[in-house]
Copies of this chain bind each other. A is one copy, B any other.
């Protein structure tokens, strides 16, 4: 036997190794991408699990339909409608986290060597999912309004004879940059995708976590041609441990997704589907989200204030209106990967920017997570980071 060719592209995530180092409790870590443990409604979930088992009994423990519980999909359709996304029962399925949507999308669209557009920087987990299908990446850079549309159009024109499938984007409070794509660009990306006959994969884990500014409609809500695959998740509004997400797309795509999902894991976890159903049905989600927003807004503000206070002139950072991350770009020619060892010595951690970039850039940047660290650690951690940067700048 030999391993499949694809395993050569599937490398152990550097981040994974890095995160192991940062588990030392003395280290103030801005490296991971974890929600705050305080954001999980533990007591509420205890009540819900009891209620689910009382109400549904064995049914909550049996295999469920591959497409997900009808009752949960109905409630999600209602919820999505409030975001401007209209969909029918045969246009939505429940998935094992939104991570599974990335895997299944790659599975049904990518032949070896197909091309796909990704933002630069982009979500690492998406690269992990896509790499297994051996695609070629076309990176498109970003500014404060998200993916640059002129660059996107130019690169598509240059590559129009190649097998192009997908534009992958996290348009709202992006991981890792914290940037949100402007409404104008959301309209334009749809036009561009239509012109080049591409599917947009809109990954939307963070849009419920807005702390300031006005909300921007999902790209899917503007999609008249059924060319957007939208994915949402319960990971940031209930529990990431539940591995519960959903996928909205046109009926034809959904049919193929169901077949692909059946091969991958038969169905999503029925028990947590019922828990989420109850969380939505009784409006508990709408009590919980404001609490999470308040918690994270405070953390974001502490971090932004600390950056302002400690970081040297010439450093730039994004000022996200929501989500869990911001993106810092250092002055001079500092290399954040090299700097990491210094940071660990000073007991502070981040993820170096190059890890998120398929275009070889990002060496002078880093991702900072502000949702996981305790409030009183954030200022100290940023101060430690600033000290290292200033030392290396000398």
Q: Which residue of B lies closest to A46 (CB)?
A: B53
**SS class of chain A's interface: helix, strand, loop or mixed?**
helix
Contact call B132/A62, Cβ cutoff below 8 A: no
A54 proximity list for chain B (CB < 8 A): 46
**Cβ–Cβ contact B241 & A1, under 8 A:** no
Q: Which of A208-216, A262-270, A356-364 is near enough to bind chain B?
A: A262-270
Q: Is the CB of B240 within 8 A of A129?
A: no
- Please tell me if the beta carbons of A42 and B66 are within 8 angstroms of each other in the complex: no
Cβ distance A315 to chain B, nearest Cβ, rounded Å: 30
Q: How far is the CA of A262 from the CA of B128 in the complex (A)?
A: 7
A30-38, A82-90, A298-306, A329-337 - the one binding chain B: A30-38
CB-nearest residue of chain B relative to A262? Answer: B128
Q: A63-B34, A259-B10 are in contact. Are A264 and B103 (CB under 8 A)?
A: yes
Residues on the B chain within 8 Å of A266, using CB: 97, 99, 125, 243
What is the CA–CA distance of A16 and B263 in the complex, to the nearest angstrom? 12
Q: How large is the interface on A (under 10, 10 to 19, 20 to 34, 35 or more residues)?
A: 35 or more
Complex copy number for this chain = 2
A325, B11: Cα distance in complex, Å: 41
Write out the residue numbers on chain B whose beta carbons fall within 8 Å of the beta carbon of A59.
Answer: 37
List A residues 121-135 near B (Cβ within 8 Å): 125, 128-133
Q: Is A231 an interface residue (CB 8 A)?
A: no
Which of B10, B107, B262 makes the CB contact (< 8 A) with A16?
B262
Q: Which of B34, B197, B243, B255 contacts A12 (CB 8 A)?
A: B255
> Which of the candidate stretches A140-148, A162-170, A173-181, A347-355 sits at the interface with the other chain?
A162-170
Looking at the complex, which of A108-116, A280-288, A374-382 is the stretch in contact with chain B?
Answer: A108-116
16 A–B pairs (Cβ distance < 8 Å), ordered by A: A2-B109, A3-B109, A4-B107, A4-B110, A7-B260, A10-B263, A45-B61, A46-B54, A62-B240, A62-B241, A63-B240, A96-B243, A125-B266, A128-B263, A242-B271, A243-B267
Extra contacts, 7 of them, besides A1-B198, A4-B110 (Cβ < 8 A), are A1-B166, A42-B61, A50-B50, A61-B239, A62-B240, A240-B270, A265-B265
